[in-house]
Amino acid sequence: MPSSASSRPSPIKNVVVLGGSYAGGRAAEVLSKVLPEGYRVVLVDRQSHFNHLYLFPRVGVVPGHANKVFVPFTNFFNSPALPPPATLPPPSLTDPKTTIKGLKSTYVHAGVTKIGEGFIEVDKDLGVEVTGEEAEPVEEVDEEEVAKLGEKLENLGMTEEGSSRRRIPYEFLVYALGCKLPPPLVTPARTKKAGVAHLEAQTKRIAEASSILIAGAGALGIQYASDIADLYNNPENAEHRPEGCVSPKKITIVHSRDRFLPLYKQEVHDEVYDRLTKLGVDVVLGERLALPSVEEELKVLNQTRTITTKAGKEIEYDLLMRCTGQSPNSALLGEFIPEALNEWGFVKVQSTTQVDAGESTRKTDNIYVVGDVADANVIKAGHTGWNQAEITIQNIMSSVMCNVKGSDTEGQEPTMAHYKPSPPQIKVTLGLRNSCSELLPEMDAKETIIAKKDDGPIDNYWSLIWSRMGISTEDLTV
């Protein structure tokens, strides 16, 4: 005799995190370790590997290191965790030894195609068919492919009418899809193999160019300009150049402002300017370029051409690198909640990191937005995304624990934490070994300090992120 519906176990409640980079990854990692029984994290990322974006400029210039910036998600939920926020509920209520009970947090390699009220849809078959509250394997799905998702995907499909094997329900949603770079720096790669190929192709284009124009002098443009100049114009680094390269190179960086990194202290600008000029970079400040369209530029790749600044200065180049800012990956949330996007396409957020849905009638109090895609009145940086994730973790846990039987807050309204922007901080590389940083010496410090280094490793401490994610560095092709 079939069991009654009341005797069935309740479906697992998913905290779905979209995007596993610095902000989303932090939220997913900590929540997977502290959520109580009946909850789990589902991390969804279109990339097969964690992309260590901060090292992309370096490995896109210096050959032989591209494998190091793609780290497997294999051990993500078992990696050595840094301490969670101190204000989380008591450990006795969130002991990971007693949580999940076989329905473990999991990583899903897929792109998201839709956000709905209480569910998302992805661009690949998850390999489960939902019947009632149980998930049955689909015969045509390759079992090895399913295994690569990291964990069994029980109960990921919707359990109501209109369910789909591409739908994942959520109790809470963390939107952390970040921003994208302008072409040709942006990559459509979704696997390590394709990502490595993209970076190696960029390395080759740079190696073959004789005159390089870098448009935009934020941190990205500065890092490209200084790395290229240090590699190809500094005799001390000749051994690191690829065979058949053009050396030395004429490098020009054009910036519309009259100083570098104006959010930071004057000393940071001075160090950047001095270092670039010492490396032989032609620095043009306070000038604007009328850039050709991407389509026009692609037609004349590898050809020498001339561009004129709006003030009349002519610059000759055969490789253009656009470092003119990033655009938010907010379209998915914008389709679901149009009222949540500001005029530039970033997602409006409350100080709780919950989406600011304006006049929307949709249920949105369970949707959080963190990282570069958020309009949080703060610089776009890994550390600010990390701090936003800390607030998100606290607020989701507060909401969850109010519904946990026997908890100190059962039946109460959640107590919400609020994000407070910290002073702008940065570390920018200025060549293969040099860097300049403006950082807080400690978390509660009121004043940032400037530090300069000239002995950094060329591969820029890449192994730290592998160790942090619990992955051996013996085989970099994984």
Per-residue pLDDT tens over the stretch 414-426: 999 999 988 899 9
Q: How many domains does the chain have?
A: 2
Is residue 19 located within the same domain as residue 121? Answer: yes
- At 3-29, the pLDDT tens digits run 444 444 557 899 999 999 999 999 999
More confident residue, 130 or 19: 19
Assess if residue 96 is contained within a domain: yes
Range of the domain at 101: 9-179+327-401
| Consecutive H or E run containing 125 | none
Say which residues have a Cβ less than 8 Å from residue 110's Cβ, sequence separation at least 6.
44, 45, 46, 122, 123, 124, 126
Is residue 331 located within the same domain as residue 245? Answer: no
Last residue of a domain, one of 325, 341, 369: 325
Query: How many of the other CB atoms lie within 10 Å of CB of 393?
Result: 28
Q: Is the pLDDT of residue 456 over 80?
A: yes
CATH number of the domain where residue 140 is located? 3.50.50.60
Is residue 331 located within the same domain as residue 315? Answer: no
Q: Is the pLDDT of residue 149 over 50?
A: no
d(CA 110, CA 102): 23
pLDDT of residue 197: 95
406 neighbors 203 (Cβ within 8 angstroms)? no
Last residue of a domain, one of 366, 401, 436: 401
Assess if residue 432 is contained within a domain: no
**Edge-first strand listing for the sheet containing 211-215:** 282-285, 250-255, 211-215, 319-322
Mean pLDDT of 102-120: 86
Last residue of a domain, one of 386, 401, 416: 401
**C-alpha distances in Å from residue 340, one per residue of 170, 238, 345:** 19, 51, 9
Q: What is the mean pLDDT of the chain?
A: 85
pLDDT of residue 473: 95
Q: Say how many CA atoms lie within 13 Å of 98 toward its Cβ.
A: 6
Assess if residue 36 is contained within a domain: yes
Q: Is the pLDDT of residue 309 over 70?
A: yes
Is residue 166 located within the same domain as residue 63? Answer: yes
More confident residue, 135 or 22: 22
Assess if residue 430 is contained within a domain: no
Is residue 203 located within the same domain as residue 317? Answer: yes
pLDDT of residue 127: 56
- At 212-248, the pLDDT tens digits run 999 999 999 999 999 999 999 999 999 999 999 999 9
Closest CA to 112 of 197, 40, 176: 176
Is residue 86 located within the same domain as residue 204? Answer: no
Assess if residue 445 is contained within a domain: no
d(CA 395, CA 87): 10
Assess if residue 439 is contained within a domain: no
d(CA 458, CA 338): 44
Assess if residue 457 is contained within a domain: no
Is residue 56 located within the same domain as residue 94? Answer: yes
Is residue 314 located within the same domain as residue 346? Answer: no
Which tokens is 16 given?
A: 């779905």
d(CA 67, CA 475): 10
Split at pLDDT 50, 70, 90, the class of 85 is low
Split at pLDDT 50, 70, 90, the class of 143 is very low
Comparing 56-60, 77-81, 338-342, the range with the smallest average pLDDT is 77-81
Say which residues have a Cβ less than 8 Å from residue 116's Cβ, sequence separation at least 6.
336
Largest separation between any pair of C-alpha atoms in the chain: 85
Is residue 163 located within the same domain as residue 209? Answer: no
Assess if residue 444 is contained within a domain: no
Q: Is the pLDDT of residue 89 over 90?
A: no
Is residue 321 located within the same domain as residue 337? Answer: no
